[in-house]
């Protein structure tokens, strides 16, 4: 896509996410939360309690990624990058950036939409953290070459119009010897193939009128808001061949934390009763929705 042709779509992506900054469930990012004991708590938007309750929902969704009460410690190399410059591309409400800052990283966070930037700045203020938080496009990062020791992104780059450009920007701003990590949605996943393609597309006959990108954007994320302008899951093959060929030590794994939830949606009640945990885990490894990849910029 040319630059000029790309701009209207970028505007659509920016305003869609500004209007629906969080999509992780009906009770995430709202003023009202149902607690574990069934009671309901109303909070002031932007208050410390608001962030705590919104984060609790996000943490619950990603349970296997935490360790020793440190959120995402099974995912992130906090120790390795303590005191180093770390960039988050697409910080959303700033939960992950907050955890990096708490673990001692010198944090910079960017997002395309101004609402997320305001939320993340507010969060850092409320929790007394330091960081540079700015509105910017992943495809045109406003940083010099070789600025960061670590660059990561979670659930963002498949939403931008040119995934390859965004990843090459992450590479450019990394210092030689630095490391990039990304979570991107997996096109070879249960959610993509069964829930998006079959349960939604086929049953609603939308696979007749929508192309694969439109179908995936309609049901891949934000289905309650009738989809979003751009959601394009990738495959492991594309990552190796087209998206991250310049990285060394490239590792790709399927997180699969979502599979039990996805199967429950599709076959209510069946998953937990008829399938052993080992079966669900094995499916999750092969068919999970989230791919996690890590690669290094060569130091020479």
Ligand X SMILES: C[S@@+](CC[C@H](N)C(=O)[O-])C[C@H]1O[C@@H](n2cnc3c(N)ncnc32)[C@H](O)[C@@H]1O
Instruction: Rule CB under 6 A: say whether 92 interacts with ligand X.
Output: yes
User: Applying CB under 6 A, which part among 1-9, 120-128, 148-156, 192-200 lies near ligand X?
Assistant: 148-156
By CB under 6 A, residue 156 contacts ligand X:
yes
Evaluate whether 283 touches 259 at the Cβ level (below 8 Å): yes
Of 40-48, 92-100, 208-216, 234-242, the window that binds ligand X (rule: CB under 6 A) is 92-100
By the 8 A CB rule, do 257 and 290 touch?
yes
Q: Is 65 or 267 the residue whose CB approaches ligand X more closely?
A: 65
Contact pattern for ligand X over residues 9 through 28, marking x by CB under 6 A: ----x---x-----x-----
The residue within the footprint of ligand X, chosen from 98, 107, 112, 293 (CB under 6 A), is 112
Q: Is residue 116 a contact residue for ligand X (CB under 6 A)?
A: yes
Least Cβ distance, residue 111 to ligand X (angstroms):
5
Residue closer to ligand X (CB basis): 139 or 258? 139
* Options 55, 75, 111, 190; binder of ligand X; rule CB under 6 A: 111
Q: 17-45 in b/e burial notation, b at 16+ Cβ within 10 A?
A: bbebbbbbeeebbbeebeeeeeeeeebee
- Which of 183, 217, 169, 151 lies closest to 13, judged by CA? 217
Which of 184, 190 has the CB closer to ligand X? 184
Nearer to ligand X, 95 or 133 (CB): 95
Cβ proximity to ligand X: between 283 and 288 the closer is: 288
> Which spans of this chain sit near ligand X (rule: CB under 6 A)?
13, 17, 23, 90-93, 95, 110-113, 116, 137-139, 154-156, 159-160
């Amino acid at each position: 896509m040319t630059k000029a042709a790309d701009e209207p779509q970028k505007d659509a992506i920016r305003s869609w996410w500004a209007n629906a900054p969080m999509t992780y469930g009906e009770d995430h990012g709202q003023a009202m939360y149902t607690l574990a004991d069934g009671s309901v708590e109303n909070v002031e938007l932007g208050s410390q309690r608001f962030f705590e309750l919104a984060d609790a929902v996000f943490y619950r969704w990603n349970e296997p990624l935490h360790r020793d009460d440190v959120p995402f410690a099974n995912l992130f190399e906090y120790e390795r990058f303590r005191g180093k410059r770390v960039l988050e591309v697409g910080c959303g409400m700033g939960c992950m950036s907050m955890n990096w800052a708490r673990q001692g990283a010198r944090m910079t966070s960017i997002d395309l939409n101004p609402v997320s930037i305001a939320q993340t700045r507010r969060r850092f203020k409320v929790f007394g953290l330091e960081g540079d938080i700015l509105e910017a496009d992943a495809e045109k990062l406003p940083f010099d070459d070789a600025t960061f020791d670590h660059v990561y992104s979670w659930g963002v780059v498949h939403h931008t119009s040119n995934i390859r450009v965004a990843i090459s920007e992450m590479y450019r701003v990394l210092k030689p010897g630095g490391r990039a990590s990304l979570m991107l949605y997996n096109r070879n996943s249960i959610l993509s193939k069964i829930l998006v393609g079959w349960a939604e597309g086929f049953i609603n006959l939308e696979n007749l009128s929508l192309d694969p990108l439109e179908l995936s954007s309609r049901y891949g994320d934000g289905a309650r808001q009738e989809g979003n302008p751009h959601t394009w899951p990738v495959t492991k093959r594309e990552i190796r061949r087209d998206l991250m060929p310049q990285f060394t030590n490239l590792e790709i794994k399927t997180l699969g934390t979502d599979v039990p939830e996805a199967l429950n949606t599709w076959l209510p009640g069946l998953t937990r009763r008829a399938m052993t945990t080992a079966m669900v885990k094995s499916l999750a490894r092969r068919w999970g929705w989230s791919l996690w990849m890590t690669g290094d910029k060569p130091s020479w």
